[in-house]
Structure 1
Amino acid sequence: MNTVYALDYAEPWIAAIEQQVFPVLRADPRLKDADKLIARFSGNVTRWRAGGEFRPIVEDANELAAAVELLRLDASDVVIRYEPKLMNTAKSIDFSLEWPDGTRSWVDVKTVAPQWIDDGASWQRFENLEAAFPNNARLIVSRDWAGAAISGQEIKARWSFIKRTVEVEQKVGLLDASERGPVRLLFCSNGTFHKDGLEDFADFYKSRRFREDDWSGNAVTRYMADEGIVFTRSLAGFCFLERPWDAVFASELAVDVRGPAFGR
């Protein structure tokens, strides 16, 4: 269930984005494709009003918030392009950042929003995974306090990190020599996962081993083996953006997320 839609915040929230976010993006000459980014959001709003899904609007709002944060990160002469055409593929990477000296980097934006499902089947899945948790790390939840839903969101977020990483690594492999530069994957949360989960995953991706305090290590290893997934580890890093459901701007952006030094 989508929280914004369920709480009837949708129309005021959409209006706030149009009134507050659109002008920020249109006013900054460094963002060369503001109208393209805005048109995607507006198009999905139109489709939702005609009976379509609301989720694409949430994803677009996260991209809008990400664009604002990228502009805030660098006050220099960086040029930011939204979904520039790539030479070797019809696939796209959301943002290209280009500097006057010719250097370039990329940021692909993905929303991670596992469904809230608090039922017996979800609890059974958690118990099956819990049996394989490391001896020194646990995900502590209670069945009586939405434990099935909370654990389900935590676990599914890890699976999403893995699947989205593979997708973006494939795009990295398709970049032409003239397009290459560091590629980062920015994960957006509207409250369904927290930064510490991404810290665990980023440490595993970078070091090839799990943190000592990562409860998901055995489950992730098994999932990747079952799915035949092997990382190329071609991504430069991971970023975390949090935007509360009813907010129009991000409350946090963290670049090159890593966990605390202890536990690595």
Structure 2
Amino acid sequence: MKLNGERKLDIFLKQVEENVCDYLEKQKDRFPSYQRLVNKFRSRYTFWSEISTMTNEIIEIVNELCIAKFFLEESTNPCKRLEYEPKHESTDQSIDFSLELQNNTRKIYCDVKTIHPDFINDWDKFERAVKHKFIPDNITVHIDKDSGGGEYWHHWTAARTKMLDHIIAFEKKILIMGLNEEINVMLFCGNGFQLRLDLLEDFADRYKVGRYRHDDIFSKMERHHMESNEITFLNNVDYIAYAERHDYEITIRKFVGSVQGPRN
């Protein structure tokens, strides 16, 4: 039986409450600040249950809840203590999670950002990119105007822009908080469509290796943007990670702790 949007969302929200929020509450000995995260969901539950469509706000908050559960359920290197938005005396800004693992002496700080660009037709921008040779000469982009090509282009370009913006903001927080001796992880969440893992691999390689891959579609555009705006990396993020969760699911389908492109 096919569910209408309102019923589907209501069932999903109940699943999050019963399978994720309740789990986190039971882990309060290891996750003493669980209420700050769980209350973000519960305070909006009634409002969300009255609407019939999935929203970006729901996706972002549920991603954080599911990531917290994923960390606590890890068995290979169990999490001894998890904190949500731990306070730091040097700034009002916060990093989403800090983790203490059983087999690690260094604390891990993890900022979680969901990338889910809107469905916007940017075909004109794609044509301009081709016309002005913003795409490397060795790369041909195969998208069709009448088959959602403009929306694909918007998803790809918007996602790449967000990757850059988020990692620069995270770098600054690491610097302000003096966390260079800790392990710092930038975790990007997506649903497998609006954020493609292969495009994140290109960005991660650029960040970690210090040069663009030969098959990076956005190398010329990003280089131009960074040079024009005098943007440079501090390179204090140790790992770029990826988590995939489909919008109406409550489990992480795929997790990559250190994203990197194919090695030839």
TM range (shorter): 0.7 to 0.9
Q: Using the alignment, how far apart are the partners of 1:72 and 1:260 within structure 2?
A: 29
Q: Using the alignment, how far apart are the partners of 2:136 and 2:85 within structure 1?
A: 41
Q: Using the alignment, how far apart are the partners of 2:231 and 2:47 within structure 1?
A: 35
Distance 1:211 1:91, change over 3 A: same
- Structure 1 residue 116: Cα displacement: 0.6
1:44 alignment partner in structure 2: 44
State percent identity of aligned pairs: 27
How do residues 65-144 of structure 1 correspond to structure 2 at under 5 angstroms?
Answer: 65-74=66-75, 75-76=77-78, 78-99=80-101, 102-118=105-121, 122-130=122-130, 131-144=133-146
State whether residues 9 and 49 of structure 2, in contact with CA within 8 Å, keep that contact through their aligned partners in structure 1: no
- Structure 1 residue 160: Cα displacement: 0.3
Distance 1:197 1:88, change over 3 A: same
1:33 alignment partner in structure 2: 33
Gaps in structure 2 of 5+ consecutive residues:
none
Distance 1:232 1:77, change over 3 A: closer
TM-score, normalised relative to structure 2: 0.88
Structure 2 counterpart SS, 1:96: strand
- Structure 1 residue 132: Cα displacement: 1.8
Q: Which runs of 4+ in 1 moved over 6 A?
A: none
1:3 alignment partner in structure 2: none
- Structure 1 residue 212: Cα displacement: 1.2
- Structure 1 residue 113: Cα displacement: 0.9
Q: CA RMSD in A?
A: 2.2
- Structure 1 residue 48: Cα displacement: 4.4
- Structure 1 residue 156: Cα displacement: 0.7
Q: Using the alignment, how far apart are the partners of 1:129 and 1:19 within structure 2?
A: 47
Deviations 1:99-143 (A, max 9, x none): 46752111100011111112xxx1110112233211222332110
How do residues 1-264 of structure 1 correspond to structure 2 at under 5 angstroms?
Answer: 7-8=5-6, 9-28=8-27, 29-48=29-48, 54-74=55-75, 75-76=77-78, 78-99=80-101, 102-118=105-121, 122-130=122-130, 131-176=133-178, 180-190=181-191, 191-262=193-264
State whether residues 21 and 248 of structure 1, in contact with CA within 8 Å, keep that contact through their aligned partners in structure 2: yes
Aligned residues, how many? 252
State whether residues 87 and 176 of structure 1, in contact with CA within 8 Å, keep that contact through their aligned partners in structure 2: no
State whether residues 239 and 256 of structure 1, in contact with CA within 8 Å, keep that contact through their aligned partners in structure 2: yes
Instruction: Decide which moves more: 142-151 or 18-27.
Output: 18-27
State whether residues 115 and 162 of structure 2, in contact with CA within 8 Å, keep that contact through their aligned partners in structure 1: yes
TM-score, normalised relative to structure 1: 0.88
Structure 2 counterpart SS, 1:248: coil
